[in-house]
Structures are given as structure tokens and as C-alpha cells.
């Protein structure tokens, strides 16, 4: 069940107007997203009621369990075959607005914790989307490192048994970061550089409790950037943010984009 849809209140409208001012003045803008930007696309987040941890055992997403347990790998493969979470998900108003900021020349990059590929689907330049936790679209062999699209592997292996790497027979794993795994080094380094060098960072839909990803807004603020947080519920970084908007991402981001467009065309 997508979350959100709460009507924007007057106080939020005033905050949105201030965010539009900040974006109009900023030169280097970064958007930082989490699972909350995708709940309106029908993908549950981790921690809200009905979220992923109410349906799956987090232990199955630790690298140790994945490597040591054929049953866990079978469970994961069945999950991929079912494809229910990500397969048909489409970008929502928040993703579209974020892509709209890029189209206006008002976005350096998106740093995302999401693995759902929806920023790219919405039209953001893939080379400006830093995926800190990987992407479900890809499968990687843990032995030879070969990376192939999940769709190809699914087409070749429609059976219920877990496939092995076509090149070396090694263990195949979704190319996403499991608990206990390091984040992709280069992506993390470039995302950190972008966060430190920006002058405006907006968090959209993240509880900001998963590290090292949640350092990004802190780095930006420490380096002197303005920090805005759009999230349904409070986060630990609210106290250092310049503006916090507790409302649904789709509606808020749509209004922000509209305001920026009006500002750029000189109509506001």
C-alpha cells in the first residue's frame, strides 16, 4: 500500500517556498534518497508498518548467511523468480520531479540507498546516480566477478533450482549490498566528494539511520551546505537541518519543481 497522499499543510507550503529560494540560489545541488521516495511506487520501505522487515528475515540478507546456507540462496532465488517487489514498479511523482530538477540544470547528482532503478527509469542520467547499495537489476558471480542483467539469468533459468555462474560455476548473488558487506568503494568515494562539495542537499524519504550512507547529509552540512529533509517521520538529522518537511515525497517534490520552474521562467 503506497504511503503518502496527506494534503500539504499551510506551514509546509511556506517551507516549500523557502526551499525553492534555496534551490534557485544554489550552484551545486545533491538529492539524497532512501526507500521512502519509492513507497508511492508501491515498494515498501524497511521500517514503516508493513515494511520489508515485517515480511522477510533480515538474517537472510547477511552475507554470512547467504554464503553458508543453500536454503537461504534458494529462498532468495525464489524471491527473484517471483519478482513481486520491483518488477513492475514505475517512477512516482517524486522521482519524476527529481529528474525534472536535473532537466532544468538544477541537480549535480542523486545519491541513493535504493536498489530499485527508479531514478534511472524516471530519466536521471545513470552516470549521475550513485547507488550506494547496488541495484537489483544486476546479478554478480562471487567467484569470477561476471555481472549480468537479472532478466537474462531469469530467462535462461526459469526453474525453481538456484542457477550457478555460466562462466565458472560460482555462486550468483544479486548485485546489492547485504549486511556485512562493504559499500562499493568508488561509488562511495564519489558520492562523498559530491556531498562535501555541494551547497544544497535535500534528503527525500530516508530514516537516516543506515550508515555509512547517512553520513552524506552530515558531510554536506558540515562543509557549509544548506540541508533540507523531506520525510514522513522524524530523523536523527532533523536538528541540524535548515528545513524539515514531514509530508509525502511525491506531493512535496512536485511542488518544489513547480516553484523552481516558475522562478526560472521569471513568473514568480
In the complex, the residues that contact ligand CNA under the rule CB under 6 A are 3-4, 34-36, 38-40, 43, 45-48, 51-52, 113-116, 133, 205-207, 210, 231-233, 248-249
- Minimum CB distance to ligand CNA smaller for 4 or for 174: 4
Say whether 95 is catalytic.
no
Q: Which is catalytic among the residues 119, 128, 133, 167?
A: 133
Task: Provide, rounded to whole angstroms, the least separation between the CB of residue 267 and ligand CNA.
Answer: 27
Task: Provide, rounded to whole angstroms, the least separation between the CB of residue 121 and ligand CNA.
Answer: 12
Q: Which residue has the cell 526507500?
A: 35
In terms of C-beta density within 10 A (0-12 exposed, 13-18 middle, 19 or more buried), how is residue 80 classed? Answer: buried
Task: Provide, rounded to whole angstroms, the least separation between the CB of residue 177 and ligand CNA.
Answer: 7
SS3 147: strand
- Assess contact for 233 and 207: CB atoms under 8 A: yes
DSSP alpha helices (H): ranges in 36-92?
63-68, 70-82
- Minimum CB distance to ligand CNA smaller for 20 or for 253: 253
End-to-end CA distance of the chain: 36
Task: Provide, rounded to whole angstroms, the least separation between the CB of residue 132 and ligand CNA.
Answer: 8
Strands 172-176 and 134-141: antiparallel
Active-site amino acid positions:
133
Amino acid at each position: 500500500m503506497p504511503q503518502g497522499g496527506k494534503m500539504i499543510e499551510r506551514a509546509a507550503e511556506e517551507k516549500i517556498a523557502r526551499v525553492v529560494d534555496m534551490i534557485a540560489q544554489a550552484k551545486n545541488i545533491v538529492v539524497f534518497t532512501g526507500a521512502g521516495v519509492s513507497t508511492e511506487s508501491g515498494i515498501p520501505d524497511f521500517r514503516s508498518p508493513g515494511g520489508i522487515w515485517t515480511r522477510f528475515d533480515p538474517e537472510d540478507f547477511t552475507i554470512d548467511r547467504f554464503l553458508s546456507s543453500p536454503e537461504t540462496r534458494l529462498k532468495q532465488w525464489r524471491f527473484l523468480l517471483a519478482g513481486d517487489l520491483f518488477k513492475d514498479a514505475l517512477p512516482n511523482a517524486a522521482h519524476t520531479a527529481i529528474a525534472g530538477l536535473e532537466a532544468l540544470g538544477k541537480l549535480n547528482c542523486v545519491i541513493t540507498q535504493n536498489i530499485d532503478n527508479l531514478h534511472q527509469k524516471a530519466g536521471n542520467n545513470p552516470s549521475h546516480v550513485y547507488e550506494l547499495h547496488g541495484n537489483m537489476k544486476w546479478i554478480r558471480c562471487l567467484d569470477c566477478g561476471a555481472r549480468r542483467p537479472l532478466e537474462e539469468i531469469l530467462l535462461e533459468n526459469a526453474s525453481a533450482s538456484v542457477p550457478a555462474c555460466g562462466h565458472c560455476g560460482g555462486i550468483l548473488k544479486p548485485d546489492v549490498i547485504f549486511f556485512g558487506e562493504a559499500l562499493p568503494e568508488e561509488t562511495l568515494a564519489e558520492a562523498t566528494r559530491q556531498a562535501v562539495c555541494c551547497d544544497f542537499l535535500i534528503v527525500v524519504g530516508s530514516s537516516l539511520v543506515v550508515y555509512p550512507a547517512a553520513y552524506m547529509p552530515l558531510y554536506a552540512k558540515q562543509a557549509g551546505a544548506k540541508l533540507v529533509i523531506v520525510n514522513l517521520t522524524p530523523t536523527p538529522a532533523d536538528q541540524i537541518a535548515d528545513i524539515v518537511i514531514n509530508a509525502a515525497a511525491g506531493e512535496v517534490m512536485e511542488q518544489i519543481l513547480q516553484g523552481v520552474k516558475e522562478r526560472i521562467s521569471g513568473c514568480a
